[in-house]
Chain A
């Protein structure tokens, strides 16, 4: 990358909006596209006065030299990004890939589960398992039909795709954990379930598989500053031990994770975050999006830090 480009930051090549709150950004970074493995994440800074937020890599294209992030506008930074990030604009900072890549080899049959914002980051895993010769069952969950995205991408790499919506407007009516029940009833030889989404969803997934003792991996994305193991802000409890999600994870054994601890720690800056959103909404000139109730999801405060 030449000097002037580096000074400007990291170029956004494309943006797509999946709903009022969810959007994807395709960013040019050939070296990262080459290095990225499923399960890894990046840290993004929108501008010089911005905060560093962790986002899971939702896709990477080695030929095109790009990575894709899928973001839900729930906090101040993600809302600001929704307003300012356009094809041709730049991110101030983008560092990664971070975290241990997911283990993809040696599995014959796997279930890849993505709920809400976890749908995008489960995609590279599903594709990675497929490339490694596994039989892949994809389970993706949305609140309602209008929020569905990337269905064709999943269909292309999954041997079976179970679509779940909370209101039954598409696929089966129910949560992704209901999808898992279907899958594990149908297949008795599942090697591994991997689930990404809000903590509540991942816990539900882990509880669904626990009676059958099916290995269940979850991807945690707690609050971080540096993402390199330096701040210790992302410490999580796994099987009684303290781990740093940024360097020891983000993938952990879902049957061992202390989700109560995770949820508690995710709320650490809830007051400041709320004040920042409030302040930003009052000051920003752009009209708030039209909240037509049947489409707009009530943002889950944890989804931002958990998602794509």
Chain B
């Protein structure tokens, strides 16, 4: 056995990853981060201290056994590393790319106390990509239990829930309103950050698990949640529709042409391929000076997409400072490298008409930071008399999203304030057999948190359906011979039906 690693013996420098040069990449939609090579991955794997009480695992919303998979990489057992990740996360290639690792696993990495933390996200992506190239899938042997599960929304929450329920032997159907599955991974996150073929590869794994996808289906309007339970034969339903209803500020000039939500910009570009107009029919009217309001991941995506679509200048307008910007560190860094102009402590108060229905600029006001608000971030306050005009011809709103009203309009689901679905600690809604998770419960969050919620809901659904939860050590809920047979709960519908087989 090799000598125990210590902070002094491991490679001190975090292994750099090749990235497309900023000058080159702003002209294409190819991925910015090219991913680790085999050598780079091995080098980075050597930096992990393999802590016995790994804080990184607790830092991961789905608790991937991180030291274990990194150790397997070090042993050149890549398939083994993939098996470890897929124990808890079906979408390694996606999460390796889009998780905010700096606030999760890498944020609590012990190495990070004195050096740069282990690049866990890059290693996860390395394994995820390798699995796609090699065609690895871990398909368990599934004995169908005859139960029907409906999943509303094909984004990260829905996919995670669908995978778990399919593995438990349920017949799972995922409904998607768009013509393609993937939700925010498809329409929202751009190609240079998460290529659509990676998303399709991950969806392919769900298909292999037997999950069915029905696109072009707007649940609530084509049929209701109640109908799914009462007429369509679903034993349980998971709602993971996200919170995609875009916010505007309610300032004058927002209905001018040239003002749009980041959702609209990204959907036109990512899902409808407006960049390829007229080969693809969907147009996108972008001006030369684009101002994006907000500094989250969506704002970064909108800015960088605008650059790639040919905008001459792209500006970020944010009412707080860089320190409070909610974007993932890598995205902010990439945006800076690509020449986005950042205007911190600035907020628009009016969008100005060019006289032809378009935008000629906006009137902004400078801000300063006051006392912390409910979110813990310092509240921005306007500086009296600091207003100024800012030239731009396109304004993109990326200031967050709200709950979509359709399910609220069409079902008796109990809602919280502002239209989010009310759930209990098991993610059960007010309707029996209906569970919900992800952004539609919590408000806008991250891909991995949505996946975590999807998996948590799946655990609750399995309990509700009387299915053995394969993730936990089993103990009968009610002891006594009238309830159990050889220690197995008689209320359970399937036990020992699952065994792993390799394909």
Contacts and interface: CB of A to CB of B under 8 A. Distances in A.
Contact of B278 (A98, A247, A268, A279): A279
Interface string A237-255: 1000010100110000000
A228 B241 CA distance: 11
B257 A264 contact: yes
Contacts of A31: 222-223
Contacts of B431: none
B116 interface: no
A63 interface: no
The contact size tier of chain A is 35 or more
Contact of A229 (B245, B278, B279): B245
Residue among A96, A229, A275 facing the most chain B CB atoms (10 A cut-off): A229
Interface stretch (B102-110, B213-221, B310-318, B463-471): B213-221
Interface stretch (B89-97, B157-165, B384-392, B404-412): B404-412
Contacts of B248: 232, 235, 242
Interface string B391-418: 0000001000000111001000000000
B257 A268 contact: yes
B221 A269 contact: no
A10 B406 CA distance: 24
B357 interface: yes
Contacts of B277: 272, 276
A230 B409 CA distance: 15
Contacts of A248: 405
B177 to A, nearest CB: 5
Contact of A52 (B250, B272, B397): B272
State the majority secondary structure of interface residues on B: loop
B254 interface: yes
Contacts of A235: 248, 254-255
A230 B280 CA distance: 21
Given A31-B223, A35-B223, A97-B222, A265 B285 contact: no
- Provide the main secondary structure of the chain A interface: mixed
Given A35-B222, A242-B250, A276-B281, A225 B255 contact: no
A51 B267 contact: no
B273 interface: yes
A66 interface: no
B218 A95 contact: yes
Nearest to B254: A242
Interface stretch (B121-129, B258-266, B344-352, B447-455): B258-266
Interface in B187-240: 187, 214-218, 221-223
A-B interface, 6 closest residue pairs, ranked by CB to CB distance from nearest? A272-B283, A93-B179, A51-B281, A231-B264, A232-B261, A230-B244
Interface of B: 177-179, 187, 214-218, 221-223, 244-246, 248, 250, 254-255, 257, 260-261, 263-264, 267-268, 272-273, 277-283, 285, 357, 397, 404-406, 409
5 contacts: A96-B218, A97-B222, A231-B246, A231-B260, A237-B255
